[in-house]
Every structure is written in structure tokens, then in C-alpha cells.
Chain A
């Protein structure tokens, strides 16, 4: 398989480079390889879009209110404060 053919076929490598691009930096050579691959591969173009979107949604999820309603129960808090007071008194 010639080097160009390898690039065109290798979606595993292309998706790797897409991930690297999304949160890091590609070398000039990597940019070229990915660029060539994406011209001919609609699957990886779709992957690129979806992966970026998933990243955004994950960030949103992490920063949203999903956990804002996570609360400790009152008993646990009461005991916790008591432990703190106990320790404070010892010092």
C-alpha cells in the first residue's frame, strides 16, 4: 500500500488526529495527513463534527446543574460538624 493510500484508508489514525486536534495541537505533517484524509472520508468528517459536539456537551454537563441538587443528608452534616468541633477543642 502506497503512503497516500495508507492515509486515505486509515480512519483509525484520522480519528486519533481529530482528537489530538480538538484538545491539543497537530504538527504540520499531521495537519496535512488529516486534511488529505478528510477530503475523501465522509465518515471521519461526520466523526469530527460529532466528537466536537460531544466534547461541548460533556463540558456543559459537567458545569451544569446535574449535580447542583446533590446534597448531603443532615445527619451526616451534623456528625461531621461535631467531629470538627471535637478536633478544634483538642487543639
Chain B
């Protein structure tokens, strides 16, 4: 056994952290629990390859991260991408189909996010979360990898098997829907 690691203390030391890490990236408690468990079990299989170059927690988190990306990949390659067509439908009337100009009823309006009051912050975050949860799985995966983990575009494309142009279309569509949802729900 590698004496740089102490599996007897793993759950006590890291389980809550890993769970919180997962739940912000995958909004599903059962799945998050499973992933934490799988991470520890997978880590046990490779304790001998741990060289102590990073902390135990960093090492475990890296294993977990790969598992999360696996989930993203599976979700995004699922044949049933009805959630994407639904989300695309939502923005069908954003722009004039001939000119590409904003339509009057869907154009951006001020909705007070520029000077948002910290007291309202919590409430606003709830709405933000709700709006994000409406995003299709693939869009959410891309969005999360970009904004939470600051992954480079190249890495995201490689890991989710997207072309660069696909990636930009998704980034654009995601933000369009998210902004519209916020405007609608936060007046």
C-alpha cells in the first residue's frame, strides 16, 4: 500500500467535498452519490500509481472530474436530444427570420442586473439556477465546463466530441436562452 494515501480516512476527509463538487456540476443527488462512491472505489484500484505530486484531495478530484465528463459525454450523445429541439424552439422568435434582427417582443430590455442589490442576490441566484436547469444536457455540460472549470475550448471540444463551430453555436444559444429566461423571471 502506498503510504502517501490514507483510504481509512477518505470518507471522513473528502466525501462531503467531493459530493459538493459533483452536485454543482451534476444536478442529481442520486447520481452524485454514485459518482462519489465510484471515485473512491476507482481510486483504490490505482493507489499504487499515486506519486504524491498532488494532494490526496486533488488526486481524488481529478478522478471524479473524469467521471463527471463521462456523464456529460453520455448525456450529450444520447439519441434522444429532444431537450435540444425544445430549447431551440424557445428562441425561434428571438430574431426576424429574414434579417436576423431582434423581434420587438423578444429584444433585450433592462431588467436590473447591472446594479443588483446584494440582498436580492440569493433570490436572484435561485432564478439563475432554475434557468440553467432548463438548459439541454449538452448545453449545460458545455456551459459548466467553460464557466465553472474554465476549461479551454479545445479541451471541451475534444472531451465532448464537438467541432469548434458546434461549440460556438451552443455557447451562443445557451446564453440567448439563459438571458431571456432571466429577463422573463426577474423584472
Interface residues of A, Cβ cutoff 8 Å to B: 1, 9-13, 15-16, 19-20, 23-24, 43-44, 46-47, 49-51, 53-55, 57-59, 61-64, 66-68, 70-72, 76-77, 80-81, 83-85, 87-88, 91
Contact = CB atoms under 8 A, between A and B. Distances in A.
Interface residues of B, number: 53
B10 A61 contact: no
Contact of B95 (A12, A63, A77): A12
A13 B153 CA distance: 20
Contacts of B175: 15, 19, 51, 54-55
A76 B178 CA distance: 35
Interface of B: 1, 7-8, 10-12, 15-16, 19-21, 23-24, 33, 36-37, 40-41, 44, 94-96, 99-102, 107-111, 113-114, 124-125, 128-129, 132, 143-144, 146-148, 153, 168-169, 171-172, 175-176, 178-179, 182
Given A13-B100, A15-B176, A50-B179, 11 more contacts: A20-B171, A43-B102, A54-B113, A54-B179, A61-B125, A66-B24, A67-B24, A68-B20, A70-B19, A80-B37, A85-B8
Contact of B101 (A9, A64, A70, A88): A9
B152 to A, nearest CB: 10
A80 B40 contact: yes
A77 B11 contact: yes
Contacts of B96: 9
Contact of A66 (B8, B16, B125, B147): B125
A78 to B, nearest CB: 8
B147 A53 contact: no
B128 A57 contact: yes
B11 A84 contact: yes
Contacts of B129: 61, 66
Interface majority SS on A: helix, strand, loop or mixed?
Answer: helix
Nearest to A1: B99
A85 B21 CA distance: 24
A24 B124 CA distance: 27
B100 A10 contact: yes
Contacts of B41: 83-84, 87
Nearest to B124: A57
A77 B94 CA distance: 48
A35 B13 CA distance: 52
Contact of B110 (A9, A46, A77): A46
A51 B179 contact: yes
